[in-house]
Amino acid sequence: MKVKPLIFIAILISIGFTAIWLAPVQPPGKPQTAAAPIPDNPFVPVGTPASPTSETVQLKQKLQALEQRVNTLEKKLAKLGPEDTSKQDKDTDRENTKTQLGTRLSASELLNKSNLVAAGVNPVLAENILNRMSELEYRRLELRDRAIREKYIGSRRYNQELQQLNKDAVDLRKAIGDNAYDRYLYETHQVNRVKVNSIMKGSPAELAGMQPGDVIINYAGNRIFGWHEIREATSEGALGDYVTVNILRNGEPMSLMLPRGPLGVRLDTVLGNPDAVTQP
């Protein structure tokens, strides 16, 4: 039996009114509570934490990168054995020694009465030497001041007057003698020895039997305290004339005969104890 359209519509309206009448009524004075949101994924229960934000993802990526770097550094440190650590300690000690030697005072600051007396110089002689040096230093200042005022600084006249003044300069080595000068250099931690670093093939030094590590003490009767002194000494006299060269080899004194002229060696300056100097 077919239901007429009007009767069907009436039934639907009646059902609607019944649903409204049966709906629960919100008590007065209480705010209406919103219904729980329906998740997009019907299989995820309500209250599941939301997916991590982009900032959280970036922080995790940075943390992973740091962990990788730490692991890499740990692997590198693990490869450093006892020999490597020992080498690093030696290098550090060597650099500290260089620093200590490199931070010495200048030669003029080291030149004082106490250092001279410690080297064995008579106190009266030491004071006399220092006074003469001080007077000459002031005369140089006077000359410079006058040349600036009269506008001839740097001229030929100024250089001639300065050379004349320098004739009165005190040669400390000559004033106190080689032994005291050697001791003074040693006590003030200034280099006072010339050591052979290497020898050129076919050179007079090689033919005479000189070896790397030899310390040159004396050349043709002249004490040697610096490389410039050995250079000047080898250029004196007649080329080819044989002279005596006193050296220290492993602390032992020796004598060699070499011709005047270039030795054919590479030199270095070192600090040596004057007590070790003994003529063979």
| pLDDT score at 43 | 45
CA distance 5 to 10: 9
Tens-digit pLDDT profile for residues 131-161: 999 999 999 999 999 999 999 999 999 999 9
Short-list 119, 110, 265, 253, CA closest to 194: 265
CA distance 61 to 101: 50
Regions of the chain where pLDDT drops below 50 = 1-3, 6, 8, 12, 17-23, 30, 34-36, 38-44, 48, 50, 81-103, 280
The tokens for 142 are 């006077």
Q: Is 14 left (phi over 0), alpha (psi -120 to 50) or beta?
A: alpha
Domain map (residue ranges) of the chain? 108-185, 191-276
| pLDDT score at 244 | 97
DSSP state of 275: G
| pLDDT score at 71 | 72
Q: Dump the DSSP string for 138-165.
A: HHHHHHHHHHHHTT-TTSHHHHHHHHHH
Task: Out of 1.10.3720.10, 1.20.1250.20, 2.40.10.10, 2.30.42.10, select the CATH number for domain 191-276.
Answer: 2.30.42.10
